[in-house]
Amino acid sequence: MRYKNCFDKERRDFFRVISHAGISAGLIKASSILAGVMLARTAEAQSGTPNKHCLVFSGGGCHPDKWFPTGASLPVQSAPLQRHYNHFAMLRNASLSGAGHGVMFHRFNNGSWSDDSFDVNLGKTIGANYPVRCLNVGTTAESALSREGYNGRPLITSPQAALDVLFAGGSGGSGGGNGGDGGLAPRQSVVDLHYAAISGLRTKLGQHEKEKLDSHFTAIREIETAIDSGGGNPGGSCPQPPGAVVAGFDTHAKLHADIVTLALSCNLTASVSLAFGTDAHTHFLDALGRESHQSHHNQGNLPLHYTEDIVYMQGLTAYLYDKLIERGLMSSTIITQVSDMGDADSHGNSNVPMLVAGAGITGGRVLDIGGKTQSELYQTIGLKLRADQSPAGGSYRNWSTSTIANL
């Protein structure tokens, strides 16, 4: 049989697996988690080619002498990432269009008002066959970080709303969702809803699929419990009580990292983005007891505060790496981190701290990219992910005429 491209073959293989398992298309549509588990069976038979992407925004820039290592030891601002250094490449001499505060549509884009941002474009290409095309979550309300054509896509700031998108079709499976954090009416647990739908099929699933389902259900239950208990404290119960609100930047950031990891490991989506704050830096860092923006304009008097902010933010990235490794995702997923500026003293666009980690990336090194921008970075990663060969390859946005060599 001839196939249009490699993705067409994977899609047909997926339908063949479903047919042999005796699972109806209707149930697949009704249960995103079952679709993800069955998709995983075909994905695991593929080569080691990366097939998912996680795009991270971590604002604040850096002081280059406190960010880039001279040997194998990371200096103070990047030190929280030391245990994961072998997984990522640090990009030296990286530039950023639109550096500074208040231009978020440059971060996952290049300032275009009419084109998809990178995460959304990947959702339309490599994520076209997944239950959710693209999941955009973050700690702080923002409508311009991710763009779909001329329209900004609101970040999903509510962890419960993110779960609804993944498991309850909160936005028709398109990856949208409510950006607010208001109280939600009582609901049945995602686990209970999906477990009831799938329980009659368990005799048709192999042991591997059963174990995968149980693992995913356990992870979902843990996140639901964390949401219900206000974040992190054991003993919460499902369903969520009326008016329960997860509070605090730190709790939000880590819950969203958990949800992103869950979405990727359950094969519910191939493209996720996670924003730790915004480039306006008006978010309050409860773990440090201050607004982030204060440290960016008082460095003469409070130089330690700025370094503490960057250390804290990179601790969140390290937490995300921990979760991705726990779920075995580093061999299938590329993780790209961008910021909003370089040296925070000048709010400039040179030496912007960018990281690329995971599948197909040689870690434990600093790669000089000679002033290239996020456009060349996204072009390089997009081609590594074969987005131009995807079922909707005609929709792939060429970001640049050049790529970053040796990444």
Structural domains in the chain (count): 1
Q: Is 18 domain-assigned?
A: yes
Q: Is 158 domain-assigned?
A: yes
Q: Is 257 domain-assigned?
A: yes
Give the distance between the most distant pair of CA atoms in the chain. Answer: 69
pLDDT value at residue 49: 76
pLDDT value at residue 260: 96
pLDDT value at residue 221: 78
Beta-bridge mates of residue 335: 54, 357
Q: Which residues make Cβ contacts (< 8 Å) with residue 218, sequence separation at least 6?
A: none
CATH code at position 265: 3.40.720
Residue ranges in the chain modelled with pLDDT below 50: 1, 3, 45, 169-186, 231-244
Q: Is 115 domain-assigned?
A: yes
Please measure the distance between the N-terminal and C-terminal CA atoms of the chain and give it in whole angstroms.
Answer: 35
Q: Is 402 domain-assigned?
A: no
In angstroms, the Cα distances linking 334 to 31, 88, 172, 257, 368 are: 26, 10, 26, 15, 19
Q: Is 406 domain-assigned?
A: no
Show the 3-state SS of the chain.
Answer: CCCCCHHHHHHHHHHHHHHHHCCCHHHHHHCHHHHHHHHHHHHHCCCCCCCEEEEEEECCCECHHHHCCCCCCCCCCCHHHHHHHHHEEEEECCCCCCCCCCCHHHCCCCCCCCCCCHHHHHHHCCCCCCCCCCEEEECCCCCCCEEECCEEECCECCHHHHHHHHHCCCCCCCCCCCCCCCCCCCCCCHHHHHHHHHHHHHHHCCHHHHHHHHHHHHHHHHHHHHHHCCCCCCCCCCCCCCCCCCCCHHHHHHHHHHHHHHHHHCCCCCEEEEEECCCCCCCEECCCCEEHHHHHCCCCCCHHHHHHHHHHHHHHHHHHHHHHHHCCCCCCEEEEEECCCCECCCCCCCCCCEEEEECCCCCCEEEECCCCCHHHHHHHHHHHCCHHHCCCHHHCCCCCCCCCCCC
Question: CA-CA distance, 1 to 211, in Å (whole number)?
Answer: 33
Domain of residue 96, residue span: 6-395
Length of the chain: 407
pLDDT value at residue 90: 97
φ/ψ (deg, to 5) at 348: -85, 180
Q: Is 350 domain-assigned?
A: yes
Q: Is 401 domain-assigned?
A: no
